[in-house]
Structure 1
């Protein structure tokens, strides 16, 4: 797909990986980039950077009415980037209730699904296009310390495969980005080397251009997939031990 002259909408586009996608689309010559944000003022800096190309759109992907309103407004979209995500750092059993897991599923899975459903007719009417789903290494391997986040990314990854098959006849390609450790607010609790959001956006644009189904965006994601292929049970045990490490560090 040719990125020059394209029109993209990026959910969670006002910071982190989403912000990097907005800038990458502008740099690639996109005609227009809609920044999906829960609060319009949070995207003012991006609009100021490229006022002729960037438009802020109120969009909370956990609210179907806002998704439907965005689809009615942004009728020229040719690329959908599902980047918005929720991570509450709660456990599945250890949490006092399942509200955190419910919100993570609503945003990370149902939000992505509803965006695809709302914009599929738009993409078709515009000759096809692309969908990019920003997923996680937590969707390759179950991470107990990530509570409801990891299962929601598993679901989103499976949905991406299903949606790819459904949208292929209308010339719309679906790419899944498997993201490991990135220097964003959501990953502030993660120690060690972190990639820059701009690096993830570059991989995403390459996936769009070359119609890549699924791609590991950074070193952590690449190593995780390799370790899973080598010894999946060893990965499972290592991720389980993260819970014990947490208990030691917090004194629980």
Structure 2
């Protein structure tokens, strides 16, 4: 999968990782970059084509797929974090996270898979999380949604292999974006995350680990989970 000359579409391109994805795609020589958002007027990136898109609205997704029928590289970046727990939290935010990360991503893939196939296969990058692999009290709904999105990524990889579509997942801990404003821990520069992700795509990697924390969490899955969830393990 070569970025140079590709035609890419980025969801949630108005801020955070999505804005950096769109910028770096342009810098790496993508022939066209569709930068999408619910409010595309908020996108201020030179050299992109703005497109209105709400991934939780099937009609909006269908319109985007029709308008961007030349896409060869789809980046499913749009996301939300409501910091909601499963037992005491309102069900509305929990549903919203699943609607965005699981159902929204699935809707995008179902709409754009035929587009990618018609254009030679191309690639899909789903922005996942280290929280695909562990739970965190205070953000359990996000962990559930990201775990579902991770499983979705693995499933569609198998289903799209026959048309030659590379399906990759990006895992990271915290990046210094608007979504993580209230997080006090160490945060990666989002530009570095995106650079690592795009390098991984060009190397043909199906799983891209952006930081040491995500690598540590993944490695812990082979061990007794009680070791991870003790204070010493955290």
2: CA distance between counterparts of 1:104 and 1:238?
28
Alignment match, 1:87: 81
State the secondary structure of the residue aligned to 1:91: coil
Whether the aligned pair in 2 keeps the contact of 1:141 and 1:236 (CA below 8 Å) is no
Alignment match, 2:5: 5
Q: 1:166 aligns with which of 152, 159, 167?
A: 159
2: CA distance between counterparts of 1:226 and 1:238?
17
Calculate the TM-score normalised by the size of structure 2: 0.95
State the secondary structure of the residue aligned to 1:175: strand
1:78 aligns with 2:72: yes
Calculate the TM-score normalised by the size of structure 1: 0.88
Q: 1:199 aligns with which of 184, 192, 197?
A: 192
Q: 2:109 aligns with which of 116, 119, 135?
A: 116
2: CA distance between counterparts of 1:14 and 1:106?
20
Structure with the largest fraction of helix: 1
Name segments (4+ residues, structure 1) moved above 6 Å.
none
Report the aligned-residue RMSD. 1.7
State the secondary structure of the residue aligned to 1:86: coil
Which residues in structure 2 correspond to 1:112-151 (within 5 Å)? 112-151=105-144
1: CA distance between counterparts of 2:56 and 2:227?
35
Moved more, 219-228 or 180-189: 219-228
Whether the aligned pair in 2 keeps the contact of 1:175 and 1:214 (CA below 8 Å) is yes
2: CA distance between counterparts of 1:105 and 1:236?
24
Shift of 1:237: 4.0
1:236 aligns with 2:229: yes
Moved more, 102-111 or 180-189: 180-189
2: CA distance between counterparts of 1:79 and 1:238?
41
1:16 aligns with 2:9: no
Shift of 1:176: 0.3
Shift of 1:223: 2.7
Shift of 1:143: 2.2
Shift of 1:13: 0.9
Whether the aligned pair in 2 keeps the contact of 1:142 and 1:236 (CA below 8 Å) is no
Shift of 1:75: 0.7
Which residues in structure 2 correspond to 1:97-112 (within 5 Å)? 97-112=90-105
Shift of 1:132: 0.1
Shift of 1:207: 2.1
Structure 1: gaps spanning 5 or more residues: 242-252
Number of residues of Structure 1 aligned to a counterpart in Structure 2: 234
Q: C-alpha offsets along residues 23-53 of structure 1, whole Å, 9 cap, x if unaligned? A: 111111000100110102111x11xx22xxx
Bigger Cα Rg: 1
Q: 1:55 aligns with which of 46, 49, 61?
A: 49
State the secondary structure of the residue aligned to 1:148: helix
Q: C-alpha offsets along residues 201-242 of structure 1, whole Å, 9 cap, x if unaligned? A: 112212221221112112321232234445522223459x9x
Shift of 1:151: 0.3
